[in-house]
Structure formats: structure tokens, C-alpha cells
Amino acid sequence: MEQLDADILIVGGGLNGPCLALACAQAGMSSVVLDALPAVTRSDVGFDGRAYALALASVRMLRALGIWDEVGEFAQPILEIKASDGRAGEGAGPFFLHFDHAEIEEGPMGHMLEDRYLRRALLAAIEAEPLITHRASARVLSQDTSSLAAVTLEGGEVLRGRLLIGADGRRSGVAERAGIKRTGWGYGQTALVCAVNHELPHNGIAHQFFMPGGPLAILPLPGNQSSIVWSESEPRAGALARASDDDFMTALRPVFGSFLGDISLSGQRFSYPLTLSLAQGFVAE
């Protein structure tokens, strides 16, 4: 019988892979997490502008995995959500939908958490768990599931397990090699993502302005800082993504409005095409 390196081989070291490995460890199953990125990238302490909106179910999962105690102090509770029409230079319209955490029993509507805190906590947790082996800078070239599960890494090393799981993103190499196809289409829009500093406190309120070109989400981060997700048509978004930081902020200010005072860029800017991508299956032989 072939010797196994772990019960489960997990390809992908972002968020889902480590979370799955920790859950498996709680059930007594060993795993190898294969991360294509180097460890120094995952453990970078700098703020790059990325943050996650965590719903209650995600917070419960992180708490069950022992992660929330490590990151909760860095999270910003979302206490209210306001959704409204918006126009450039005018901010939110006079009529809006309003959701208040005081109307529910579970607490905040959600939490905003910066990427740097979550990925560093996950990295520390999997490094500390004896049932998890973390392999950074490990690129999978091929896989074989004809008997057990086996993957071949760059350099020729072969790892074996009982089950192979792809947690390697929308363009999953594991899924592609397994013959799992995807259905989807584009929406003709791109999301521009960054963080901004502002003069006035946000009071834990998340805003969604529905602008003519697409929605603008203003999501509260700790302190006088918010995460921005600005959706625009692909041509307009492409021009904004290529613009200098100064020119980008000049375009954002009239869309954002002045209700939080003057704003300035914090961290890097990112852009993501908005598409639907749905796997036609989740299991392959």
C-alpha cells in the first residue's frame, strides 16, 4: 500500500484552504496545504487596502475554528446599513432603506476585517496545528486520482492523500484538471476597490449608493477609515484603474460626496471584473 503524506491534500493557501484544514484537524484528519505564494507574502504586516465584509455565519465559523479571538479586536462592527439612490456631487438621496442592528438579536449586521489580519491569523493557526503541514511556494503541475489522490509539484515531488480538494480560486487548476467545467458570463462592469481616510467618524454605518454607472459601497473600517467598492462600466473603470492616484481621487470625491468630510487614499488600489462563474459540479472521480 502506498504511503500517504496526509489524509487530505488541499491546493490553495488563501482563506478557504486554511479554514478547511483547521476544520479537518478538529475532526482528527491530517492535511497538507499547498500554497503557490511564498510565506512572506501571506505574512506581510502592511495595509494594502483590502478588507472583507464578514456576515454573521462567517464570524461564527471563524470563532469555531479559534480564529476570531485573534482577529476580533481588529474588526469594525457594521451597526447600520443605508441603501439609497446617489448622484455624483450629491451623495445619498433623501429616501433610503435602513437596517439597524438594534432590530435583531444576533448583534452587529456584520464586521469589516482587513485582509492582513485574517491571513496572518490563519497562517499562524495552521503552522501551530500538528495535523496540518503548510507548504509555501508549492505549485502543482499535475494530479492523479485514479487510485488515491496524488499531485506532482514543480521539481518533481509527488504527494499522496485520500482526497484532493481544490481551494485555488475561480480559475482553479484542480477543477480544470479534474474536468469540472464552469458556467458564467460578464456583467460589463468592473469593481474598483481601495480604502480611504476621512475627516468625520462613520459611526459603524455602511452605505450603498446606487449611481447611474453602478453602485458605490462605503464600508466602515476601524477609525476614520472606510473600504470602497466602486462599480463602473468596463470602459470607465479601465480608465479609472489606469489613472494616477491623484486623478482617481479627483474622480471619486464627487461620487463619494462630502458627508464624511475630506477623503484621501489609504493603501493600494485594485480592480476586479464583475462576472458570474458557477461550477457545474463540485466532485469528480
Q: Which CATH class is domain 75-112+184-279?
A: alpha beta
Q: Name the band, by pLDDT with cuts 50, 70 and 90, for residue 33.
A: very high
pTM for this structure?
Answer: 0.89
pLDDT tens digits, 230-243: 999 999 999 999 99
pLDDT tens digits, 36-57: 988 887 777 676 778 999 999 9
pLDDT tens digits, 115-158: 999 999 999 999 999 999 999 999 999 999 988 999 999 989 99
List, edge to edge, every strand of the sheet that includes 91-100. 91-100, 80-87, 205-211, 214-221, 225-233, 182-198, 263-279
For 81, 89, 194, 201, 256, the CA distances from 259, given in Å and listed in that order, are 15, 11, 18, 10, 8
Q: CATH code for 8-69+115-182?
A: 3.50.50.60
Report the alpha-carbon distance of residue 178 to residue 164 in Å, rounded: 10
Domain with CATH 3.30.9.10 in the chain: 75-112+184-279
Domain with CATH 3.50.50.60 in the chain: 8-69+115-182
Say what the pLDDT of residue 104 is: 83
